[in-house]
Amino acid sequence: MDRTLFFSAQAGRTLEAPRRIKTRFAIGDVVKHKTFDFRGVIFDIDPVFANSEEWYSSIPEEIRPDRNQPFYHLLAESDESDYVAYVSQQNLVIDALTGPVSHPDVHQYFEQFENGRYRMRRKLTH
């Protein structure tokens, strides 16, 4: 399989990942967690797990996701608070509400909410 290297600031090291990876979701999609009661908008995607070992080890083993799948950075919201979440692909589904997310940082990343998803600010796109 063709692989590539990328540096993860969160993990603090260079990681190896497949050159092509199938993601179920895209930047700007509004998703919700399958198990926990929160939703959010995707603002970044890692092709494989790219956080710290400490973070990964803190997840109970019986629910710990496989590292070799996309992980999504979300501007997340729950009934209690707004925060940034890091979630494996296996734990996300498209949010059936398809309404906007009320996270206070949404407008730093996205221009508008339209047709059930956000459009990233032009200055942030490659």
The pLDDT value given to residue 124: 64
Comparing CA positions, the residue from 11, 15, 12 lying closest to residue 3 is: 15
Interval 15-68: pLDDT, tens? 777 777 789 999 999 999 999 999 999 999 999 999 988 999 999 999 999 999
The pLDDT value given to residue 11: 64
**Mean pLDDT across 100-122:** 92
Interval 77-101: pLDDT, tens? 999 999 999 999 999 999 977 689 9
Q: How confident is the model at residue 102 (pLDDT cuts 50, 70, 90)?
A: very high
| In the predicted structure, residue 108 carries a pLDDT above the cut 80 | yes
94 vs 34: CA distance, rounded Å: 10
Could you tell me the domains of the chain?
Answer: 23-124 (2.30.30.390)
77 vs 11: which has the higher pLDDT: 77
Comparing CA positions, the residue from 33, 26, 47, 28 lying closest to residue 109 is: 28
Q: How confident is the model at residue 125 (pLDDT cuts 50, 70, 90)?
A: low
The answer to whether 106 and 41 are in contact (CB under 8 A) is: yes
| In the predicted structure, residue 1 carries a pLDDT above the cut 90 | no
Residue type, 18: P
